[in-house]
A and B are shown apart, each in its own frame.
Chain A
Amino acid sequence: MNINFNNLFNQFAIFLSVVLFAFILDTALFVYLPKTQPTFQKENSETLDYKRYDIIRAFKNTTKKIQQPKKKIIKKQYNLNDNIILKAIYAKDNQRGFIIIQEKHKSDTQMLGINDSIKGYILKQIYATYVIFNKNNKEYRLNLNDNKKTKNFTTTPVIQKEQPKPENDSNIVVLDDKISVQRAYLNSYINNIDKIWKNINIQEVKTPHGIDGFKVRYIKPGSVFSALGLQKGDIIKSVNNIKLKSYNDAFKVYRKINDITNINMQIQRGNQTMELNYEIQ
């Protein structure tokens, strides 16, 4: 039998070149594709890239265990059922805002900001309808009280387009160094917390040692807060000698407001420290 090896080799070369062309195309595609799972930090990408197209590997079936990226590890969440009720959420995003909670069988409510704790549970994240606490390296989820409908998760303060109406002058009287506020007028704000957030937006000032006051980010022109002398950019440091080191400190002031007749507010405006005094009549 006469075999034409030359012709056979030519035929084989054609098929081989087709396979090689496919291989080159795939290699070119590989260059543009991510080499690892998202967020996975590879230390030595060149070595791994080379191994991916190792000729031995190309002709060998491999089963590879993928190392899970650290960020992908999602902790199991437990429901927080420790007699704590989530009453309200006020948040700008997951890491900024505060919540109002109430312990069952207690009438007092409490305000918590990020990293504040209650019964050893540390508040870590705030979502639209629930919050995440951390205790002993476990994540606990606390849902908003079902009876309360949430309208409080706002990304920006509600700004009315209508012309700002000046507040009734008789409610706020400015004397030399003191501002007098009518109790009934103040109560209209105290009893309606949503009304407060429509007129003012504050944000905690974070320092390495924790919260150091609250910065006024927005004030509705013509609102009670602007009449009280507050300005955008002011940092409220303390109220009636209660230093505002947490959201709960701010809430303490809010709860005591019915019992006090004088308010002394220490604020920082630019580089100046100022005091604002109010008399409640």
Chain B
Amino acid sequence: MKLLFKSLLLIVIFFYALIAFMPKENIYYLLQEKLSHRRIDIVTKTIDDKYLKFFLKENTIYYMKIKAVNIKNIDTKVFLYDNTIIIKNISIDKSFKHIVPSSIKNIIIRYKITNPLKITIKAKMDSANLVGYIDIVKRKLILNLKTSKTFVRKYKNIINKMKKTPKGYSFEYKF
């Protein structure tokens, strides 16, 4: 029992040390590099690397050198039991206003050790809330949208791709 406890403790310490010393900033550069090959450029004003947390502030995403999205904060917190990515204050360029809502208050992507096979997703928009999850085993993304009539009228492109359910609209995607 003592040995088991010690081994577990060692694994936990190893994990925390691995995350704390991980060159997160450089991993982010690699991601930027890969995306720029697909003509997506992310310009980040401030990168803040703190042991188990990683903050990106004042981000602008360009597609084919055209400004597409502004994201105020992307906060990543990696703990063993609870890991989250919180994307705050997303403003999408006016050119896309007929396709997607121009402002998304936040998106929370969470992975908890208590629910190891699912990654939950929550998004808050002006007149809609999106709740969903990624099923890692079934390789499936399921999104449920609770929305107002105005949203349905305004963003028919999104609604048309979703199924109507008693609680709102749902979207399923297999990958």
Contact = CB atoms under 8 A, between A and B. Distances in A.
Nearest to B37: A38
B26 interface: yes
Contacts of A15: 10, 13
Interface in A49-89: 52, 58, 61-66, 68, 72, 74
Interface string B25-60: 111011011001000010111111111000000000
Interface stretch (B15-23, B112-120, B154-162): B15-23
Interface in A124-162: none
B44 A66 contact: yes
A12 B26 CA distance: 31
Contact of A14 (B10, B21, B46): B10
A34 B29 contact: yes
Contact of A30 (B23, B43, B46): B23
A25 B15 CA distance: 11
A18 B14 contact: yes
A3 interface: no
A19 B51 CA distance: 13
Contact of B17 (A23, A29, A30, A65): A23
A193 interface: no
Contacts of B29: 33-38
Given A33-B29, A61-B50, A26 B23 contact: yes
A184 interface: no
B17 A58 contact: no
A254 to B, nearest CB: 32
Contact of A22 (B21, B45, B46, B51): B21
A14 B3 CA distance: 13
Contact of B51 (A34, A36, A52, A61): A61
A34 B25 CA distance: 9
A189 interface: no
B67 A30 contact: no
B62 interface: yes
B48 A23 contact: no
Contact of B45 (A26, A38, A65): A65
B149 interface: no
Contact of B47 (A21, A23, A38, A64): A64
A29 B27 CA distance: 9
B24 to A, nearest CB: 10
A168 to B, nearest CB: 45
The 3 closest A-B pairs by CB, nearest first: A22-B17, A33-B26, A26-B21
Interface of B: 10, 13-14, 17-18, 20-23, 25-27, 29-30, 32-33, 36, 41, 43-51, 62, 65, 67
5 contacts: A26-B23, A27-B21, A34-B29, A38-B29, A68-B45
